[in-house]
Amino acid sequence: MTSDYAALKRKIFQIKAPSRDAISDTASVEQTVKDIIANVRERGDAAVREYSVAFDKADVAIFEVSQDEKLRVVADLDPQTRQDTEFAINNVRRFAEAQLGTILPLEIESLPGVHLGHRVIPIKTVGCYVPGGRYPLLSAPVMTIVPAKVAGCDQVIACLPPNAHPAMIAGCHLAGADRIFRVGGAQAIAAMAYGTEMIPAVDKIVGPGNAFVNEAKRQVFGQVGIDQLAGPSEIFIVADETANAAMIATDLLAQAEHDIRTRVGVVTTDHQLAEEVLKQVEKQLEDLSTAPVASVAWKDYGEITVVEDEDTMIAYADYIASEHLQVHTRDPHSTAKKLRNYGSLFIGELASVVYSDKCSGTNHTLPTMAAGRYTGGLWVGSYVKIATHQWLDECGVAAVGPAAVRQSATEMLEGHRRAAALRLSSKQLAAVI
C-alpha cells in the first residue's frame, strides 16, 4: 500500500493538507490501560469504583441502574425526544431484521453420504459500551443494543459513564438492554471482559469509545470478542464540478464537531470547487456554535485534495478508506459502484451522514483509520456465529475415508490415520493405496 500511495501522491494536489496524523497522533495509553485491566481483574468492583472516582469524579456504590430508575428516566424524557428515539430504534430494528433474513442456515450433501452445513447461533452475552463523550449522543445505544436484540442474544448489558446524561440511560432501556451499569472507560471494558461481583462477564464487547476504551478492547481481545478498534470519527467526500461547495462544507463541519481529532476531507476533480469549499468552511465556522471543537479538527486534520480525473479520485478515496464516504458527483450511483473501501457509503447529495448517525436505519458504528480496507461496520451479523457441522453415513465414510487415511499417512500423523481407518471396512482398507 505504501508503494501504491507513493505513485498516487504524484497525481494529487492538496489545497489544504492535514497538519497532524490522525492515525499515529495519539499519546501512548497502553501501560495505563494494562494496569487498569490487571487491577479490575484482581480486585473487581473495588477497583472499578476507585477508577470511577479518579477518572469520572463519581463515587458510585451500586453500579447497576435499577428498574425504578429506568422507568423514571424514560418518563422524564421530553415527549418529542422519546418519539424521535423510538423512531430511530424502529428504523434500526427494521434494517437489522432485514439483514438477519439474509443470514441463512445451510445443509448440503456435498458427496453421497457426506452431509455438511452451518447454523446461525446468536452470541449468548454481549456487552455494549455506550460512550458519554462531549454530547449526549442518544443514537449511540440504539446502534449497539438494537441489533443484539434482533440477533437473539440471551443477555445484552450496557455500560456507560456514571456522569452520562439521563437520556442516555433512557435510550439504553428503550433500545432493549437487559441490564445497565454506570461504569465507563477502560475499567468498564475490563469489567465486562473478566466480570466483577456486580458486572457479568460477556462473550463479546461492542461499541466505540475514547483512546482508553479502544486500547482496553485491544488488550482484552481473545478473552472476549470485540467488534473493531475505532478511532475518532471520519468523513470524506468525493466530488466533481457539479457538487455544491456550501453543502460539502456543512457536511464536513457536521462531523468535525464530534471531536478535535475528527478527520474530515474532500477529494475532487475540480480545482474551483476545492477553493470554494475552503472558503465555505472558513465562513461557516464563524457562526457555528461548536466551532471551538470543529475548528481545531479542521485545522489539524482537514484536507482538500484535487486530482486530475475520476480514476485517481476513486483510487485516492479507496486509499483513505474513510469511515463515512459521501458521493457528490453527476452520476453518484455510477461513481459509487467503483468505490470499494469505506465504512458506510452515502450516495448522492441528499444522503447526509447525519441521517445515518441518528435515525435512518444503517448502523453508525463503523471502521476508522483505514480499516474499511478489510472490514465493514457493526451489523446484526456481528452478534451471531456461523458454526459448521457435518454428519456421514456409510456411503460418506467410503467417499472420504480412503483419502483421509492416505493423507494422514503422508503427513506422518499415525493417530489421524488410525481414526480415519477405524470407520472403514476391511475391504475398504485393503483398497487404500
Q: What positions carry a catalytic annotation?
A: 323-324
Q: Which amino acid is at 303?
A: E
Burial string for 82-92 (b: 16+ CB within 10 Å, else e) reads bebbbebbebb
**Helical axes 140-151 vs 79-100, angle rounded to 10°:** 40
* CB 277 within 8 Å of CB 318: no
| C-alpha cell at position 91 | 428504523
Residues 6+ apart with CB under 8 A from 3: none
Candidates 239, 314, 326; CA nearest to 277 is 239
Separation of alpha carbons 419 and 413, rounded Å: 10
Can you give the length of the chain in residues?
433
What DSSP string runs through 399-423?
HHHHHHHHHHHHTT-HHHHHHHHHT
Q: Which uninterrupted H or E stretch holds 346?
A: strand 344-347
In order of 3, 61, 138, 349, the CA distances from 175 in angstroms are: 46, 25, 11, 30
Which one-letter amino acid corresponds to residue 378?
A: L
Residue type, 196: T
Are the C-beta atoms of residues 156 and 176 closer than 8 Å to each other? yes
